[in-house]
Structure 1
Amino acid sequence: MQVSQNSVVQFHYTLSDENGQLESSTNQDPVLYLHGHQNLIPGLENALADKKAGDSFSITLAPADAYGERNEDAIQSVQVKHLMGAKKWKPGMVAVVNTSEGQRQVTVVKVGMFKAEVDTNHPLAGKTLTFAIEILDVREASAEEIEHGHAHGVGGHHHH
């Protein structure tokens, strides 16, 4: 079965930038996602279309097809208590903050007693990224998955 609209795809990935490997799923659960619902960055979702279980491939994405270009005006001041993910913050650390659009990753630029300056660009914005993909499984999505807009199961979306 080929990857197409509303198929659920399970894959392992290794992500690298021009400086080397950043992260890999190979020692964890594979990623599970519902195709055609903007659950992945556009360039990666496009590359997965029409592939099938057992396929392995590598794709290099320009920032525009990955996490976008960096916005240099993206520095914001937030209260330190709103940063989630660590007890003590240092510049360069990635924190999670709640925004009106849901949770976002931000990079700490400067930390004071009560306020921190954070860079709201995605940590991978402005980078050319290479994904090495190994597709493990492709299946039809259930009606419930299509209705919810995401895959259910290990590596997919969990309802709390």
Structure 2
Amino acid sequence: MTQAKVGDVVRINYTGRLTDGTQFDTSAGKRPLEFTIGEGQVIKGLEAEVAGMAPGDKNTVTIPSDQAYGAHRPEAVQSLDRSKLPAGIDAKVGTQLQARTSDGNLLPITIVDLDDKSVKVDANHPLAGKDLIFDVELVEIVKAA
């Protein structure tokens, strides 16, 4: 049976969980996730797991944070003066916002703490610093390299 390799376009079904069992994402009830192996469209560890699988194969893999969303970077957590928030924002812990970087790109940030004068925001990916567990099924190789 043909195994998936770098350059192949593949479709997978997956469920992602944290090590405590909390599910953070799944393809259940949706179309399978389609991506090209080797193009960085999904996290490195998941891409590496799919390479070598054959259609119909199912695996459960633990992906360390350095092969997922990287380490949590303390420098990406900053306090801002609350007056810097746009008017009309319902600021509370967990609120997701976007900041514009110096080169004009949008950066997703999450409010992690606040008081009357300041807001602490985190620009880390919400899964940064976490090992992830994926149940993966290779549904098909759509286009071989």
Structure 2 length as normaliser, TM-score?
A: 0.79
- SS of the residue aligned with 1:43? helix
Establish whether residue 128 from structure 1 lines up as the match of residue 128 from structure 2.
Answer: no
Determine which structure has more spread, i.e. the larger CA radius of gyration.
2
Tell whether the 8 Å contact from 1:34 to 1:141 is kept in structure 2 after alignment.
Answer: no
Please tell me the residue identity of whatever aligns with 1:8. V
Query: Which is bigger in relative contact order (C-alpha 8 A, separation at least 6)?
Result: 2
- SS of the residue aligned with 1:73? helix
Considering only aligned residues, what root-mean-square deviation do their CA atoms show, in Å?
Answer: 2.8
How many residue pairs get matched? 138
Whole-Å separation in 1 of the counterparts to 2:104 and 2:48? 24
Whole-Å separation in 2 of the counterparts to 1:103 and 1:52? 38
Whole-Å separation in 1 of the counterparts to 2:31 and 2:14? 11
Percent identical pairs in the alignment equals 30
Distance 1:4 1:101, change over 3 A: farther
How much does 1:111 deviate? 5.1
Tell whether the 8 Å contact from 1:106 to 1:123 is kept in structure 2 after alignment.
Answer: no
Distance 1:64 1:106, change over 3 A: same
Contiguous gaps of at least 5 residues in structure 2? none
- SS of the residue aligned with 2:74? coil
- SS of the residue aligned with 1:139? strand
Please tell me the residue identity of whatever aligns with 2:67. D
How much does 1:29 deviate? 1.9
Structure 1 length as normaliser, TM-score?
A: 0.72
Tell whether the 8 Å contact from 1:80 to 1:115 is kept in structure 2 after alignment.
Answer: no
